[in-house]
Chain A
């Protein structure tokens, strides 16, 4: 009984700590953004443009689109596997293929997705290395 109460307390405590220390605070978003910008400027900037606005009917914008702000699973998949489908994005269709970037590390993917999801007026949640790792493992 005593043991049960103690372990319950432990579990509760762990829960409380997690609740009061959301992942946001454990993660240095500012540093991730700076690293992510470097990846963006090297790989993404030409097609998606410095302001994330893309090229009309050619390369999709990254500003407040469903995909950019949406599930991280889809974003990691697009980066790792590429994307070349007829898909509507904010009422328009885009012609150019997104080349796969399998050479990127989990860290680079987490950083660049964090940068994109929190730049150009976007305010979506950041992406962690652990999340990328888990999603990527299922992609293979």
Chain B
């Protein structure tokens, strides 16, 4: 009897401690964060939640890569302040990745176009069924087709146009096929294009190729502390698979770094001719252009990364933290969401996390640390399709909290700091 009674007490006690102590809902994912940080699941199972943005009233806008129930944007609203979305509103008839808010407009991209929606004075989208087309007719050949966007404070919008290619070979991703010289893809893709943020129906003729030689960028952000654009490039794939004589599987897995760049007008970052080797700390000539893992060739003059992250981690979001909620060391530093690798196969995959890189005056001020982890949801990490979550978007809330989106499980988390500063 007493045994039964004490186990009853134990159940009550454990149930109480689970519910009462902690209002934070961390059910799906149970992602790992540094001490003092907590994750609230804002919403779950949204679809392929790509980039996210938070409006001044706290509404979270999520861009879906594929339409869900015919809609491509979801607005999440938390009406009682517990962090969890209790109202959802879906609109937009296009899938895509990019989303941003500037000067009273919500900007969102498909893989071909950039649209914008006007907010009314109550912070509601005025006409959710009729966005304006700002930019149209961008290269979309399926590969690297997502169009990420960022806006500056001078009326310009920056669009990544990813190269529909791994390394500009005559036959893409084909062993023995030579690199095209010069690479014709660079005329309309493989770079960042700049457009007016307020002009309708712009295309290549109205835009400026702001920077070139970028294979594919998904994560980019305007850094307001130094007033410049920064991007994370997805480095090249398949070194050992296409050139087994020059590269081992280990070299393929570790060498072609994911590069962090400051992007100024006219810069050339070297794709497809060059890749960055973080071990030799050099931009090296790509094997499609005669490189052998040692030769620099024409790459000596190409822009070098501010920081090189491990190969194939797939940086899908970049956010400069300008809030005051997190500890002082995070201020103006960079958070990067890594989608997680596939090209490290047959070796173990990696990434699937959110890292923090301290920054000072627009330059890295130390090494990166893993900020949020365990998105995969298990130890086995053989292939990306088995991951529970894949981090893809980052945004900052008006209160300085940070939001993370996931395009595999469709989860959006709100990260808050409750520890000492």
Contacts and interface: CB of A to CB of B under 8 A. Distances in A.
A49 B143 CA distance: 18
Contacts of B384: 49, 55-56
Given A50-B346, A96-B143, A56 B174 contact: no
B385 A45 contact: no
A46 B142 contact: no
A41 B241 CA distance: 10
B353 interface: no
- Most chain B beta-carbon contacts within 10 A, residue among A41, A50, A61, A99: A99
Given A50-B382, A55-B385, A45 B173 contact: no
Contact of B346 (A45, A59, A93): A45
A118 B175 CA distance: 27
B143 A46 contact: no
B385 A49 contact: yes
Given A41-B346, A54-B385, A46 B241 contact: yes
A125 interface: no
B342 interface: yes
Interface residues of B, number: 27
A23 to B, nearest CB: 32
Nearest to A99: B174
Residues of A contacting B: mostly? loop
A50 B173 contact: no
A51 interface: yes
Nearest to B111: A95
Interface size class of A (residues with CB under 8 A): 20 to 34
B21 to A, nearest CB: 37
Contacts of B66: 57
Contacts of B241: 43, 46
Contacts of A57: 48, 65-66
Contact of B385 (A43, A56, A97): A56
Contacts of B24: none
Contacts of A53: 383, 385-386
Contacts of A97: 143, 172-173
A99 B172 contact: yes
Contacts of A54: 383, 385
Interface string B38-57: 00000000001000000000
Contacts of B386: 51, 53
A104 to B, nearest CB: 11
B171 interface: yes
Contacts of A46: 237-238, 241, 342-343, 345-346
A75 B145 CA distance: 26
Nearest to A43: B241
Contacts of B233: none
Nearest to A98: B173
A82 B145 CA distance: 20
Given A100-B174, A103-B175, A50 B345 contact: yes
A43 B173 CA distance: 11
A86 B140 CA distance: 12
Nearest to B48: A57
A132 B48 CA distance: 39
A58 interface: yes
Interface of B: 48, 65-66, 142-145, 171-176, 237-238, 241, 342-343, 345-346, 382-386, 390, 408
5 contacts: A53-B383, A53-B386, A54-B385, A57-B65, A97-B172
Q: List the 5 closest pairs (A to B, CB-CB), nearest first.
A: A49-B383, A99-B174, A53-B385, A55-B342, A95-B142
